[in-house]
Amino acid sequence: MSQPSIMIVEDEEPLTLLLRYNLEAEGYQVSTAARGDDADLMLRESLPDLLLLDWMLPGLSGIELCRRLRQRDETRELPIILLTARGEESERVRGLSTGADDYIVKPFSVPELLARVKALMRRSAPTRVASLLEIGELSLNRETHRVKRGSRDLHLGPTEFRILEFLMERPGRVFSRAHLLDSVWGMDSDIDERTVDVHVGRLRKAINRPREKDPIRTVRGTGYSFDESFARR
């Protein structure tokens, strides 16, 4: 399965960078445009799986671009999340009436945006966000929250579940404790990084019996990763 792709159309560069960083960490392929008219041209060349579209843009406003996209056959169904400024209730409604699928009000938290993106991806392209993650003998079902090793049901706490889901989505990639804190607990949590170790310890206890291969790899001085070789046993 190829990586789902997202295009960010936003003229505030720091926000674009923040979104790109976080979306790439989630496994999305990201393209960007800083002007509405540039985005319009790019979208005639190739289509992303989802569009994050700022309201106020130079060249062509997000609203106008959204309206145009909805008039073209190729982009009529393109999933669009509109980014709007705070306190524009009536405008926000107008945003949805121009055909955006969802909107999010600035300033927003990154985990909230990621959750919206995931939800819209799931609605619009359910095969892109598989409900069942399977690596080797380990399977994790996002819908039912059941985790199994072979035929054995594993009992994970909610945090352990999210850590495992996050790592299984990106096998082989190494994540620092700080990155895991951002992604699993949320950007503005001020939890100690050692908390990550505690939960990874619990996760290991839940999934490994003595002498079983540990799918979670500790990378000294860096963090954790889901061991790719676990798939090959």
Residues that bind Ca ion (CB under 5 A): 11, 54, 56
Q: Cβ of residue 68: shortest distance to Ca ion, in angstroms?
A: 18
141: how many CB neighbours lie within 10 A of its CB?
15
Whole-angstrom CA distances from 125 to 18, 34, 50, 118, 229 are 25, 26, 10, 10, 29
Q: Cβ of residue 85: shortest distance to Ca ion, in angstroms?
A: 8
Closer of 26 and 54 to Ca ion (Cβ): 54
Closer of 18 and 56 to Ca ion (Cβ): 56
DSSP 69-125: HHHSGGGTT--EEEEE-TT-HHHHHHHHHTT-SEEEESS--HHHHHHHHHHHHHHH-
Q: Which residue of the chain is nearest Ca ion when measured via CB? A: 56
Q: Cβ of residue 220: shortest distance to Ca ion, in angstroms?
A: 43
Closer of 106 and 162 to Ca ion (Cβ): 106
Closer of 20 and 128 to Ca ion (Cβ): 20
Whether 51 contacts 81, CB under 8 Å:
yes
Q: Cβ of residue 15: shortest distance to Ca ion, in angstroms?
A: 8
Bridge partners, residue 133, by sequence: 140
- Specify the DSSP class assigned to residue 232: G
